[in-house]
Amino acid sequence: MRPGLFLLPLACALAQDLPLRFDLPDADPVIVKAAQPAKFLESVGRRAALLGREDGSFEAWINPIKIVRDFRLSAYFDGSLEPAPLASLAEQVRVSPGRSTIVYAHAAFTVREHWIAPLDLPALIVLLDIDTDRPLKLRATFVPEFKPMWPASFGGQSSYWNEPERLFVFGEGLRRHAAVLGSPAFVRSSEQVGHQLPDVTMLAEMDITPDVARSHLIPIVIAASSGGSAGARGIYRDVLARLPELIRESDGYYREFSRRTFRLETPSRELNHAFEQARYAIEKGWACNEGVGCGLVAGYAPSGTSERPGFAWYFGGDALMNSWSIVDYGDFPRARAVLEFLRDRQRPDGKIMHELTQSAALLDWSKYPYGYYHGDTTPLFLFSIAEYVTRSGDLEFLKASWPAVDIAYRFCLGMLDDDGLMSNAKAGAGAVETGALSGKVAKDVYLAGAWLAGLDGYRRLAELAGRQADSRDAAARLIHARQSMNAWFLPDKARLPFARLTDGSLYDAQSSWQSFALAYGGLDESLSRKAAAALARPELATAWGTRLFATDSPYYDPLSYNDGSVWPFVTGFAISAQFAHHQAAAGLRCLYGLASTTDWPGAGFIAEYMSGNRAQALPRAVPHQLFSSSAVVRGAVSGLLGLRGDALARTVTVAPHIPIAWNHVKFENYRVGSSVIAGELIRKEGKLLIRLSIEGPPLDVTLSPAFPPASQSRGEGVVSDNGADLHVTIVRKAARQLDVTFDIAPGPEAPPELRAPVVGERASPR
């Protein structure tokens, strides 16, 4: 039997089955842009995601199951036999954190297609707002999938048409998991073959008159449940009954999220926009499903015919790096939840997981070799908990997590060589997963840097936990490990080499992987400053970020995943290292260049990785990659503004590296424990005014702004000149309000060379 069209009784399509029009105001903020059919577009909730393109095609996931792919709409009017694909009519997209809208324009009609993923329901909504002068027949086509994320699988998938409710029902052999796709407007559907999932495009049609379009909105709803088809149909009906409420909830959540998290205003529109969108991109990675729970996934992309939507799994290293930015923008509950998810899945020997599929409840994930094969996650866990506890003051979390912290530390100790540094051969992968160096690395500079940061984190945590002997032991180990790492420096080349290889040789290529050790390792300051300055070499730096390896490296390949491409998260390490070692012009240039890539893969996002030679994301790069966005947040808050808070010591440091040409910078919602800080930096007539207001408990404040070399202080403050810039430091105790003026005769400083890279341009020396 071949699929055909199944006619429904006309009464089933009565307008009263459709929701009446309701107010749907523009979300705030919103990105408005011309539609680019190939660009990524999404609407993501905690339990479901529409992942597609700006032409309106999408695939639908309800965690952890892909329901359909290649969903498209087309229109027939004036008796036409051939459809007008709406994809060819896409003119504009309007993207906000809570929903995305595509505007299709034709001489006879306009369709506004809203994608909404309800905040915390296993459901998805496509809401059509139609303005037409002619009767329209709209056809929805899609390919049924009903497959869980790799590597799980179902047996015996099937589908059927539920005529009374006008929806397709998808199920599997055990009849536990089920999904539906339907609309009160569907009047015709493709005929279904019982007891099998057809390997064909399925379709449903709607007849829309001008009168119906004027008075009603047209919803298409996808819902899923582990409670069988009855459960999925119940969610479907609930969504239809609560459409306005669900949209308001999603929009309202992100408005409140923006209100309570860190906000930044600088003279750079590109940086302001990138920072705003980065917060949303990170928060949208919080994903839940019934089988595994809630945690932070790494990123989203359409899966096509495969079974993983980008990196929408729970990745340990990604989540830990993202937690630093979550702490920076002040969402302490979310940061704690990220750490708890990883803590609660720690291996018995103390190792922290590398990755966990969302379909883990449907199989025995322990039989797969991927879960714990990275070595960096465990020291990063120690560092991340120290960062969170220091800023939040959450000693209760530390107490509850101490057994996990201690066993993670003991695991790391077992992975050390005699030099006190972690071994890749013992602990697992660090910087390299694929490429020319795969399997050849005995110890890389990134894993060594992660261990230095983790060791220092454990030292701090042990002291807070009252484990003084453990803290002293960690401090002694830290001295030894730093001495060993300092010995790695190549003074004549002003850098740390990348790795010692398994054949005993030194791979001394210039690499941005050294940036983590430079930023967080506590290494020799004079050597670190030279190495941080060398990160700006044109062989390593591009206008859109730093290459993993310099162009003069033996295995450099600008298109290779691990051998020369530009990774934003590693660029973020470079930005942190540059600001930490007073290379302010290079740090700002790098931060601005990376921020300017926001929206390249899709509105609001920064791609997973880019070419080392041309300003373009590589074809397989995930467009919504959380740690790419995190690099902008971390670089702006802890780097550019130099904000560092300690809730337990009740202190905050403001040590900005703001160029002289910037007359005004403003921030809000920097959180230190229960204190919330707003600040302004205002330059006028050769003076710098720093104004702070602190809500909640007062803090001891250290102000230490940077000025160009050869500047002269004419007012109060302790002056320190490190050769790269000059800092003037003023301390105020138990402050709530501050207005401090720095009277400085500034030395010469060239205006910052901030140029947004143009997509497709070739890298060239500055």
State the pLDDT at residue 4. 47
> How far apart are the C-alpha atoms of 62 and 149, rounded to whole Å?
10
> How far apart are the C-alpha atoms of 333 and 330, rounded to whole Å?
9
Q: Is residue 465 part of a domain?
A: yes
List CB contacts of 55: < 8 A, sequence separation 6 or more.
35, 37, 38, 87, 88, 90, 102
State the pLDDT at residue 13. 44
Domain of 659 in residue numbering reads as 646-745
CA 467-339-289 angle, to 5 degrees, is 150
The percentage of the chain sitting over the pLDDT mark of 90, rounded to a whole number, equals: 91
Pair of tokens at residue 319: 């989540």
pLDDT digits (tens, 9 = 90+) for 325-375: 999 999 999 999 999 999 999 999 999 999 999 999 999 999 999 999 999
pLDDT digits (tens, 9 = 90+) for 414-454: 999 999 999 999 999 999 988 999 999 999 999 999 999 99
> How far apart are the C-alpha atoms of 185 and 219, rounded to whole Å?
8
In 3-state terms, what secondary structure has residue 560? coil
State the pLDDT at residue 765. 62
Distances (CA, A) of 110 to 209, 498, 547: 13, 56, 45
Same structural domain, 635 and 652: no
Same structural domain, 302 and 418: yes
> How far apart are the C-alpha atoms of 369 and 714, rounded to whole Å?
63
> How far apart are the C-alpha atoms of 206 and 185, rounded to whole Å?
5
The percentage of the chain sitting over the pLDDT mark of 70, rounded to a whole number, equals: 97
Q: Is residue 310 part of a domain?
A: yes
Q: Helix %, strand %, coil % for the chain, to 5?
A: 30, 30, 40
Closest CA to 671 of 368, 185, 238, 336: 336
- Which residue's entry shows tokens 């954190």? 97
List CB contacts of 602: < 8 A, sequence separation 6 or more.
39, 40, 41, 42, 54, 623, 624
Q: Is residue 760 part of a domain?
A: no
> How far apart are the C-alpha atoms of 298 and 409, rounded to whole Å?
25
Task: Determine the distance from the C-alpha atom of residue 207 to the mean position of all C-alpha atoms in its chain, rounded to a whole number.
Answer: 41
State the pLDDT at residue 79. 81
Same structural domain, 298 and 238: no
Same structural domain, 514 and 590: yes
- Which residue's entry shows tokens 């094969």? 373
Distances (CA, A) of 740 to 69, 600, 690: 58, 40, 5
> How far apart are the C-alpha atoms of 371 and 356, rounded to whole Å?
6
Counts of helices then strands in the chain (DSSP H, E): 16, 41
Pair of tokens at residue 442: 């005995």
Is the pLDDT reported for residue 9 higher than 80?
no
Q: Is residue 76 part of a domain?
A: yes
State the pLDDT at residue 195. 59
Q: What interhelical angle do 332-343 and 395-413 show, nearest 10?
A: 40
Type of residue numbered 309? P
pLDDT digits (tens, 9 = 90+) for 496-553: 999 999 999 999 999 999 999 999 999 999 999 999 999 999 999 999 999 999 999 9
Pair of tokens at residue 583: 């290379």
On whether the CB atoms of residues 260 and 670 are closer than 8 A, the answer is no
State the pLDDT at residue 737. 97
In 3-state terms, what secondary structure has residue 164? coil
List CB contacts of 330: < 8 A, sequence separation 6 or more.
260, 261, 262, 669, 670, 671, 676
List CB contacts of 574: < 8 A, sequence separation 6 or more.
512, 515, 535, 545, 546, 590
State the pLDDT at residue 192. 66
List CB contacts of 400: < 8 A, sequence separation 6 or more.
none
ω before 210 within 30° of 0 (cis)?
A: no
CA dihedral of residues 179, 184, 185, 187 (deg, nearest 10)? 80
Confidence of residue 15 (pLDDT cuts 50, 70, 90): low
Q: Sign of the C-alpha dihedral, residues 11, 12, 16, 20?
A: negative
Q: Is residue 660 part of a domain?
A: yes
Instruction: List, in sequence order, the alpha helices (H) in 596-716.
Output: 626-634
> How far apart are the C-alpha atoms of 560 and 551, rounded to whole Å?
12
Type of residue numbered 508? D
Q: What pTM value is reported for the model?
A: 0.96
In 3-state terms, what secondary structure has residue 182? strand
Of 205, 225, 254, at which residue does a domain stop? 254
DSSP string, 330-366: T-HHHHHHHHHHHHTT--TTSPPPSEE-TTGGGS-GG
Same structural domain, 248 and 275: no
On whether the CB atoms of residues 146 and 132 are closer than 8 A, the answer is no
> How far apart are the C-alpha atoms of 178 and 501, rounded to whole Å?
51
Same structural domain, 243 and 280: no
Q: Is residue 291 part of a domain?
A: yes
Pair of tokens at residue 705: 């702004």
Same structural domain, 651 and 636: no
> How far apart are the C-alpha atoms of 546 and 763, rounded to whole Å?
11
Of 231, 254, 277, at which residue does a domain stop? 254
Helix (H) or strand (E) run with residue 399 in it: helix 395-413
Same structural domain, 211 and 296: no
Helix (H) or strand (E) run with residue 314 in it: strand 314-315
Confidence of residue 78 (pLDDT cuts 50, 70, 90): confident
Same structural domain, 739 and 608: no
DSSP category for residue 647: T
Parallel, antiparallel, or unpaired: how do β-strands 687-695 and 712-713 relate?
A: unpaired
Closest CA to 498 of 567, 550, 453: 550
> How far apart are the C-alpha atoms of 632 and 591, rounded to whole Å?
7
- State how many domains the chain has: 3
Q: Is residue 424 part of a domain?
A: yes
On whether the CB atoms of residues 106 and 80 are closer than 8 A, the answer is no
Same structural domain, 212 and 71: yes
On whether the CB atoms of residues 679 and 691 are closer than 8 A, the answer is yes
pLDDT digits (tens, 9 = 90+) for 188-222: 998 765 556 767 899 999 999 999 999 999 999 99
On whether the CB atoms of residues 647 and 610 are closer than 8 A, the answer is no
- Which residue's entry shows tokens 């130099």? 642
- Which residue's entry shows tokens 């290292």? 577
pLDDT digits (tens, 9 = 90+) for 128-172: 999 999 999 999 999 999 999 999 999 889 999 999 999 999 999
Q: In whole numbers, what is the pLDDT of the chain averaged over residues?
A: 95
Same structural domain, 385 and 532: yes
> How far apart are the C-alpha atoms of 162 and 192, rounded to whole Å?
10
Is the pLDDT reported for residue 10 higher than 60?
no
Domain containing 391 — which CATH number?
1.50.10.10
On whether the CB atoms of residues 496 and 490 are closer than 8 A, the answer is yes
ω before 151 within 30° of 0 (cis)?
A: yes
DSSP category for residue 547: B
Of 230, 254, 278, at which residue does a domain stop? 254
> How far apart are the C-alpha atoms of 206 and 18, rounded to whole Å?
12
Pair of tokens at residue 605: 């996002």
Give Rg (Cα) of the chain: 27
DSSP string, 654-680: E-----TT--EEEEEEEEETTEEEEEE
State the pLDDT at residue 475. 98
Closest CA to 671 of 256, 261, 254: 261
Domain containing 699 — which CATH number?
2.60.40.1180
Domain containing 249 — which CATH number?
2.70.98.10
> How far apart are the C-alpha atoms of 340 and 416, rounded to whole Å?
26
Confidence of residue 752 (pLDDT cuts 50, 70, 90): confident
Parallel, antiparallel, or unpaired: how do β-strands 664-672 and 651-654 relate?
A: unpaired
Same structural domain, 622 and 719: no
Q: Is residue 259 part of a domain?
A: no
Is the pLDDT reported for residue 653 higher than 60?
yes
CA 721-725-729 angle, to 5 degrees, is 60
pLDDT digits (tens, 9 = 90+) for 592-638: 999 999 999 999 999 999 999 999 999 999 999 999 999 999 999 99
3-state secondary structure 8-66: CCHHHHCHHHCCECCCCCCCCCCEEEECCCCCEEEEECCCEEEEEECCCCEEEEECCEE
On whether the CB atoms of residues 577 and 535 are closer than 8 A, the answer is yes
DSSP category for residue 637: I
747 burial (CB, 10 Å; 0-12 / 13-18 / 19+) is: middle
